[in-house]
Amino acid sequence: MSLSPKDVLNKNKNLNKRIDVDKINLENVTVDDLRFNGKNYSEFINLQSLLENVSACQISDAYNAAFKRSGTVQSIKPINNQKVWGSIFTAETDCDDWGTSALAIDNAEEGDILFFKVNGDEKAIWGELASSCARDNGIKATVIYGSARDLDALLYMDYPVFASNFCPNAGSPLGLGTLDEPIEVEDMKINPGDFFFGDESGIVVIPKEVFGQVMNQTLLVKIKESGIIEDISHGKTLAEIVGLK
């Protein structure tokens, strides 16, 4: 593949640059802009500037404002309270099959979020070894509708894990599950490539088709809440701000 002069210049772009929230521009942003591809520098920087400064709560509020959906799976909670976002790589298996977890690690792309639908939670399909391997492969986080284990290690690892349960026992390396196919969790349809955001409050999933709209609405939510916080610092009460007094 040949490189254009623009491609060469983009290699020298500062990917750590950030923009003040009130100057963020998300025009034409898509879920593909979660990754820098050499040609989407402005979209990537503006999107990272937003996501580093918002929460799962604000994104859920934005999704609800735009589409009357929360995007949450209530039973899935953070294991080690780390903030993360990215594009989803799906997997589905039974709780006695942790081999599908190993296959998912090998098949996902760098920067992906692994999202497992597990049929049953009597056995764990994820733990310390899987987290270490996934992290070293460039995967950003793991989300499990099912059980994880090795919490003594996961609680202190620099790798985000979210799960609906935990237990000490595991199954076998069967590798009988499916990868990169649509899944359904608590009546929510999740497709490969959908957007995931998780933090201390929980998780939010946004369909890739409406990602840009929800991100623009999230920016409005962030700016509005920043204004409310400023009003409170100047002596107004929350009841006054929302019109209850």
Are residues 211 and 154 part of one domain?
no
Question: Distance (Å, rounded) from C-alpha 26 to C-alpha 30?
Answer: 9
Lowest mean pLDDT among 7-11, 47-51, 56-60: 7-11
pLDDT at res. 5: 52
Range of the domain at 25: 17-68+207-234
Confidence band of 8 (pLDDT split at 50, 70, 90): very low
- Residue 124 tokens read as 């764990």
**145 in the same domain as 114:** yes
Q: What is the pLDDT of residue 131?
A: 98
Tell me the average pLDDT of the chain.
Answer: 94
Structural domains counted in the chain: 2
In a domain, 201, yes or no: yes
Gap between the Cα atoms of 141 and 163, Å rounded? 11
Whether residue 199 sits in one domain with residue 212: no
CATH code of residue 142? 3.50.30.40
pLDDT attached to residue 2:
43
Domain assignment present for residue 120? The answer is: yes
Q: Does the residue 244 lie in any domain?
A: no
pLDDT tens for each residue of 110-136: 999 999 999 999 999 999 999 999 999
Q: Give the residue among 220, 183, 214 at the shortest CA–CA distance from 31.
A: 214
171 shares a domain with 83: yes
- Residues 199, 212: one domain? no
Cβ-contact 130, 99 below 8 angstroms: no
Q: Do 175 and 212 sit in the same domain of this protein?
A: no
Interval 190-219: pLDDT, tens: 999 999 999 999 999 999 999 999 999 999
In terms of DSSP bridges, do strands 178-179 and 183-185 run parallel, antiparallel, or are they unpaired?
A: unpaired
Please, are residues 141 and 86 in contact by the beta-carbon 8 Å criterion?
Answer: yes
User: What is the distance between the alpha carbons of residues 106 and 215, in angstroms, rounded to a whole number?
Assistant: 30
User: Does pLDDT of 80 surpass 80?
Assistant: yes
Give the distance, in angstroms, between the CA of residue 94 and the centroid of all CA atoms in the same chain. 23
Same-domain check for residues 101 and 27: no
